[in-house]
Amino acid sequence: MATESSDKVKQRINYLREQLRHHSYVYYVLGELEIPDSAYDRMYNELKQLEQEHPKLITPDSPTQRVGAEPLDAFAKIQHKIPMLSLDNVFSEDELYAFNKRIQDRLDSDEEIEFVAEPKLDGLAISIVYQKGKLFQAATRGDGTTGEDVTQNVRTIQSVPLCLLGDDYPDVLEVRGEVFIDKAGFERLNAMARERDEKTFANPRNAAAGSLRQLNPVITAQRPLSIYCYAVGVVEGYVLPDTHSAVLEKIQQWGLPVCSELEVVNGVKGCLKFYNKILKKRDGLKYEIDGIVYKVNKFSLQNKLGFVARAPRWAIAHKFPAQEEITIVNDIEFQVGRTGAVTPVARLEPVFVGGVTVSNATLHNMDEIERKDVRVGDKVIIRRAGDVIPEIVSVVPGNRKKGARKIKMPDKCPVCKSDIVREEGEAISRCSGGLYCPAQRKEAIKHYASRKAMDIEGLGDKLIEQLVDENLVDHVNDLYSLNVTRLAELDRMGEKSAKNLIEALNNSKNPPLNRFIYALGIREVGEATASSLANNYDNLDQLMKANDEDLQNISDIGPVVAKHIVHFFAQKHNRDVIDKILKAGITFKKKPASSKASQKLAGKTFVITGTLPTLSRDQARERLQAAGAKVAGSVSAKTDYLLAGDKAGSKLARAEKLGVTVINEQGLESLLLDG
């Protein structure tokens, strides 16, 4: 039994070593990423624990006995005079207290230790050597003893000084820092990659590593790289201050960037206070961090504490809760938002990430699914940062099962079974059952009741939400079935308010046809388009029967808007709701007797600005649209008239610059009379 148990331990150790070597190679040599840091850390800590329990199984080539993988042969190799070691990690307060206790025991002192606490940036470690104040050489950490010569690439980083400031610097100065790409730069970099149909980076650290290790420095120069320096290595011809914090101040004076988010703290309590402060600020920082680094401040104490094989005894990394984890996609479903956007959502095997258990992640749209090639059953890396909705970063390669199902956008809305449409050139698919779809009901009712639509006074957003939540209104037609008794029972509604609302609903039953068309909420049918439709069709029934070709014969209606209109009226659910609205007593105001007079200003574009003497802007807009004019929101070369009142402002200045005819309210009356 003992032999069997020993064999299992050996097998597990060998497996962990193989996995760690593989992932070190992928990350350090190829500059790519297959698993998140948290997964690597767990394997490393498990191996370290097994080797401590079975010291006879430790071998010199174990990943616990050295820092990383060998550098690429494509770069010249540089030997570090002082090894660039990595740090051990702690993940809890208890582990931090144990780290502090080890320091005190080794120093044989109970005195509170002074630490420098600073954010642990998520980038690529670099060594930069200055000789006589001028940048001489730069190298990656590599395996800790041998790195890659990336001098020409580092010279392209704007924040790296080519010459040190002042004249009191060492003859030879080696500074060590972290090269990174901030969050905004990372988003820009990936946006450009998507535009070029190129592979995107999984995270900012992956992007920084890939950018710094380009063989062509011209490419590196195009990447938004930054650096923060955190230590010194070789120093010749200079006596440094006796604390780490003072050295950081000194190198900053020489023109080298140092992270501003660092403090000198006392003891474990000081460390934890800083940790919690930065954890709260984490999502608001412009760069990614994954923890806090604590370093004993006094160099005399650092020297007494010394090093272990892999890391210094006087420093530790206190890691934040993992923001990335691996899990499995159990299914992909589609959700309908309040504006009809249909979004794919991955249902995941629950996993603890970013401080909470996550079981869902957004995939944004079908382009995102296709670009990342996500399928049901895949192992994926998910990311959750702060309150941001969890998202799938990438698929873990090499784990896909045979026959894994590809994801397709459904043809019908999963909520109301209306058609799902996606316009050419757009990423988002939408449900076309806007008037009926329960997922969109609140927004549909709010739009229907708004001032420029049916103008139902007293029916505000909060009341609409309450009516829907109380199941009193499912669709807009249900508004006309409300009664005073039930309304008066609602929060902040008495009998008087209820009666006023019922009166307002009754007053809304005789709208102009154009307002009703606008109230339906057809995609891209605004006030001007609704007026054009009302002017070209005698009644609603004619409009509902119109086809694409008929609609495109109307001025300002192109193929996209025509398609939206046809799709909307083609949905049986929408027609049913409209029929119920009409049966509730809706009738339309008759058009002016002279149809020719009503089209006097057809083809003309107006913009309204300022305060008119007797008309409100809405009244002026209605009169213009009734005359066939188009009313736009901004002045352009296509504007025919600017209707200007008092305090006209910038629109008047632009109209005068473009030579647009400017009229006042009296001029409007003249146009409407004379045509």
Positions marked active-site: 120
Read off the amino acid at residue 178: E
Backbone angles phi, psi at 556, to 5 degrees: 75, 5
Backbone angles phi, psi at 14, to 5 degrees: -65, -40
What's 312's DSSP letter? B
Q: How far is it, in rounded angstroms, from Cα 125 to Cα 562?
A: 57
Euclidean distance between the first and the last CA atom of the chain, given in angstroms as a whole number = 103
Q: How far is it, in rounded angstroms, from Cα 225 to Cα 336?
A: 39
Alpha-carbon Rg of the chain, whole angstroms?
A: 34
Residues 228 and 138 sit within 8 Å (Cβ to Cβ): no
The size of the chain, in residues, is 675
Diameter of the chain by CA atoms? 107
Q: In a 3-state reduction of DSSP, which class is residue 644?
A: strand
Q: In a 3-state reduction of DSSP, which class is residue 357?
A: strand
Backbone angles phi, psi at 279, to 5 degrees: -60, -40
- H/E stretch holding 329: strand 324-336
Residues 6+ apart with CB under 8 A from 674: none
Angle 487-488-492 from CA coordinates, rounded to 5° = 100
Residues 6+ apart with CB under 8 A from 217: 152, 153, 155, 156
The tokens 């399928």 sit on which residue?
Answer: 375
CA 592 to chain centre: 51
- H/E stretch holding 207: helix 204-212
Cα–Cα distance list, 297 to 112, 116, 242, 244 (Å) = 12, 6, 9, 5
Q: In a 3-state reduction of DSSP, which class is residue 385?
A: coil
Residues 164 and 255 sit within 8 Å (Cβ to Cβ): yes
CA 554 to chain centre: 40
Structure tokens at 582: 């009409």
Buried b (16+ CB within 10 A) or exposed e, 118-133: bbbbbbbbbbbbbeeb
Beta strands in 182-323 (DSSP E): 225-236, 263-266, 289-296, 315-319
Q: How far is it, in rounded angstroms, from Cα 121 to Cα 126?
A: 12
Q: How far is it, in rounded angstroms, from Cα 146 to Cα 178?
A: 17
For the residues of 533-544, what is the DSSP string, one character each? HHHH-SSHHHHH
Task: Give the residue from 127, 137, 126 showing the smallest Cα distance to 162.
Answer: 137
Instruction: List 312's β-bridge partners, or say none.
Output: 307
Residue 199: how many other CB atoms lie within 10 Å: 12
What's 598's DSSP letter? G
Read off the amino acid at residue 600: K
Backbone angles phi, psi at 267, to 5 degrees: 65, 180
Residues 494 and 488 sit within 8 Å (Cβ to Cβ): yes
Q: In a 3-state reduction of DSSP, which class is residue 227?
A: strand
